[in-house]
């Protein structure tokens, strides 16, 4: 999450992380369309768990990855949201207006594109949020790889938009992708959140009390009907942070290698595998595929630019250091959905449903087209020979 926005070293880490993520997704595709497909799917669907007295939990391998390991990814999302809000690109109230407007437009328009394309198929409208999310780490890594002429402020703006996008995606998951709610479990979850908030109010700075309560919160939320990854975000937001460190930063730094190199590649490996034999034509004809793909390719940039235009119109123009040239160069990379989009697709449809495979195909297709389009536009507007001048604070953004 956080490795992709910094100096040369962190950017290189972001590029490597993006390449590993893409390689894991490709491997998942190959496994799902090889002679090992049956064994691979049997492994993903195999149920296993533990039993400790009255506490019992057994899930498939896929659900352990999506519901448990991904909670660690969402823990990092929560920490990142809080850090950017307190000390980063979103710390200044005036600086929040532009990325907030861009993020709102960037979520609304792709959803409308999906709904418009799938209006005649009401059963598939549950996937309206799939193209609404930007994958922050993947987008930053790909931008660093394919658009090296962009100035440093481009990473700051894209990070702010993607962080707000993640926050919006979490709110959508909590509000729209829930099973039947359990009142007692929700009550216990709320009590646990209050306990963490009290720890913060009493000045508790160590991480382990929050993480212990966060594990308990994950258990309550898992059985409440709300998706358990919401517990990860709440724990991350409640972890104390200071400008120069704090428990949140320590937890983030400790978990970053595990999340970047194990959790996210495992998620891509398990979720990106689409069986193409005999179904490629159907996937390419599916309105779900094109609703997602065009939502990412066209809806995202249109929504981002529309939100920026509305904010600029209301605020008397773009802030200093920003230009429409920069906004155009960035807009395409906001269509990189991948991790969060695949995650929402998994919530919108059960595995094995044709719409689920179509949504995954749309995510992969839309992300590839968005990277290609974004790279072309960025290379045209910011050729690499201008990289040093632009990055050094040249007034022409």
Would you say residue 149 lies in a domain? yes
Minimal CA–CA distance to 312: which of 300, 325, 329, 324? 324
* Rounded Cα distance, 5 and 183, in Å: 41
Would you say residue 43 lies in a domain? no
| CA 154 centroid distance within chain | 18
Would you say residue 52 lies in a domain? no
| CA 384 centroid distance within chain | 28
Residue 12 in this model has a pLDDT that exceeds 60: yes
| CA 166 centroid distance within chain | 5
Minimal CA–CA distance to 192: which of 211, 206, 171, 173? 211
Kindly report the CATH number assigned to the domain that includes residue 263: 1.20.1530.10
Would you say residue 186 lies in a domain? no
pLDDT band at 278 (very low <50, low <70, confident <90, very high): low
**Token reading at 221:** 């939320």
* Rounded Cα distance, 138 and 1, in Å: 9
Residues in the chain, total: 397
14 with 137: CB under 8 angstroms? Answer: yes
Q: What's the pLDDT at 277?
A: 66
pTM for this structure?
0.82
Would you say residue 332 lies in a domain? yes
Would you say residue 123 lies in a domain? yes
pLDDT in tens, 111-139: 999 999 999 999 899 999 999 887 776 77
Question: How many domains does one find in the chain?
Answer: 1
Structural domain range at position 15: 8-34+60-177+227-391
pLDDT in tens, 177-233: 877 788 899 999 999 999 999 999 999 999 999 999 999 999 999 888 888 888 999
Would you say residue 202 lies in a domain? no
pLDDT in tens, 221-276: 988 888 888 899 999 999 999 888 889 999 999 999 999 899 999 998 998 878 77
pLDDT in tens, 139-170: 777 787 788 788 878 888 888 888 888 888 88
Would you say residue 166 lies in a domain? yes
C-beta atoms surrounding 363 within 10 Å: 33
Minimal CA–CA distance to 267: which of 76, 43, 61, 39? 61
Residue 389 in this model has a pLDDT that exceeds 80: no
């Amino acid at each position: 999450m956080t490795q992709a926005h910094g100096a040369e070293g962190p950017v290189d880490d972001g590029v490597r992380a993006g390449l590993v993520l893409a390689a894991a997704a490709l491997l998942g595709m190959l496994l799902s369309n090889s002679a090992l497909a049956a064994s691979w799917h049997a492994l993903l669907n195999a149920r296993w768990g533990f039993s400790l007295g009255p506490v019992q939990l057994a899930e498939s391998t896929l659900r352990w990855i999506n519901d448990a390991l991904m909670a660690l990814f969402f823990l990092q999302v929560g920490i990142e949201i809080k850090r950017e809000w307190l000390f980063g690109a979103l710390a200044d109230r005036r600086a929040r207006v532009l990325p907030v407007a861009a993020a709102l437009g960037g979520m609304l328009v792709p959803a409308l594109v999906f709904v418009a394309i799938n209006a005649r198929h009401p059963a598939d409208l549950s996937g309206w949020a799939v193209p609404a999310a930007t994958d922050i780490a993947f987008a930053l890594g790909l931008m660093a790889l394919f658009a090296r002429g962009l100035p440093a402020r481009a990473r700051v703006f894209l990070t702010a938009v993607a962080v707000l996008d993640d926050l919006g995606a979490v709110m959508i998951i909590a509000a729209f992708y829930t099973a039947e709610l359990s009142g007692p479990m929700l009550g216990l979850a709320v009590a646990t959140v209050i306990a963490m908030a009290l720890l913060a109010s009493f000045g508790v700075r160590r991480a382990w009390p929050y993480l212990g309560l966060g594990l308990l919160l994950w258990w309550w939320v898992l059985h409440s009907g709300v998706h358990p990854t919401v517990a990860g975000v709440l724990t991350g937001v409640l972890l104390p942070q200071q400008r120069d460190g704090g428990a949140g930063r320590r937890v983030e730094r400790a978990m970053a290698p595990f999340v970047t190199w194990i959790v996210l590649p495992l998620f891509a490996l398990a979720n990106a595998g689409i069986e193409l034999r005999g179904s490629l034509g159907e996937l390419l004809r599916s309105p779900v595929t094109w609703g997602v793909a065009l939502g990412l390719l066209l809806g995202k940039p249109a929504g981002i630019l529309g939100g920026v235009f509305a904010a600029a119109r209301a605020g008397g123009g773009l802030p200093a250091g920003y230009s429409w040239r920069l906004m155009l160069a960035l807009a395409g990379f906001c269509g990189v959905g991948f991790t969060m989009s695949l995650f929402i697709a998994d919530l919108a449809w059960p595995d094995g449903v044709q719409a689920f495979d179509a949504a995954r195909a749309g995510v992969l297709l839309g992300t590839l087209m968005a990277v290609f389009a974004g790279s072309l536009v960025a290379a045209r507007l910011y050729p690499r020979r201008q990289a040093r001048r632009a990055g050094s604070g040249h007034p022409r953004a």
